[in-house]
Chains A and B, each alone.
Chain A
């Protein structure tokens, strides 16, 4: 049972335009959501996050939106740059016993920004 779903395996966007990456989740216990970016031959790197008490978080060209009622979040990249071409993973977490937690990742969306 996939608790975090990224239904688009790939996305192509023209340079300068907006990239919108989507993510859906099923577990209501999730209270923190993150996006990671991964280049080939590298490990994933943290990009941006949002707490469930917010509906928007912005960091430069990157904005994450959270719609709790729809259990949906999205990552907007404006303007898109060729260097943004990477695989983007959506992840969700909740705090378990003794402060432990674990991240549940989606399968990723490969973004290609075309110059």
Chain B
């Protein structure tokens, strides 16, 4: 158990819809990261938050947005869903800050299926 909690574990929805994925980081971790894993693809970095502020942005579509709340949990919002958005979405957390070299703790992922 990594200590990172993601909900829901599975989600099936239709094209054009909007969904919200939720992540609770490990206790004490200030950084939250979102990754997308599509079929036969590696983990694609979407976005990072550190203590409530956006810290880094990767290949995140404009239809997607995220935020980190004062209690440090994070939500990833996916809107105007397309078939190609079907993927595993992972949240990861770390202590964050300048001393961190990249060891992240991952949740079990949220599997999104868009029909």
For residue B27, give the distance in angstroms from its CB to the closest CB of chain A: 17
Given A43-B90, A101-B100; A108-B42 close (CB under 8 Å): yes
Contacts of B98 in A (CB 8 A): 95, 98-99
Mostly, the A contact residues are strand
A103 near B42 (CB under 8 angstroms)?
no
Of A34, A41, A45, A102, the residue contacting B56 (CB under 8 A) is A102
Assembly CA distance A43 to B104 (angstroms): 11
Chain B interface size range: 20 to 34
Q: How many A residues touch B, CB cutoff 8 Å?
A: 29
Of A36, A45, A100, the residue contacting B48 (CB under 8 A) is A100
Assembly CA distance A36 to B45 (angstroms): 15
A32 near B106 (CB under 8 angstroms)?
no
User: What total of A-B pairs shows CB separation below 8 Å?
Assistant: 73
CB-nearest residue of chain B to A34: B102
Mostly, the B contact residues are loop
Assembly CA distance A104 to B99 (angstroms): 18
Assembly CA distance A104 to B106 (angstroms): 15
A51 near B106 (CB under 8 angstroms)?
no
Question: Would you give 23 A-B contacts (Cβ < 8 Å), ordered by A?
Answer: A4-B42, A43-B90, A44-B90, A45-B2, A45-B106, A46-B103, A51-B101, A89-B42, A91-B102, A93-B101, A95-B101, A98-B55, A99-B98, A99-B100, A100-B56, A101-B100, A102-B33, A102-B45, A103-B102, A103-B104, A104-B45, A105-B42, A105-B43
4 tightest A-B contacts by CB? A99-B98, A43-B106, A93-B102, A107-B42
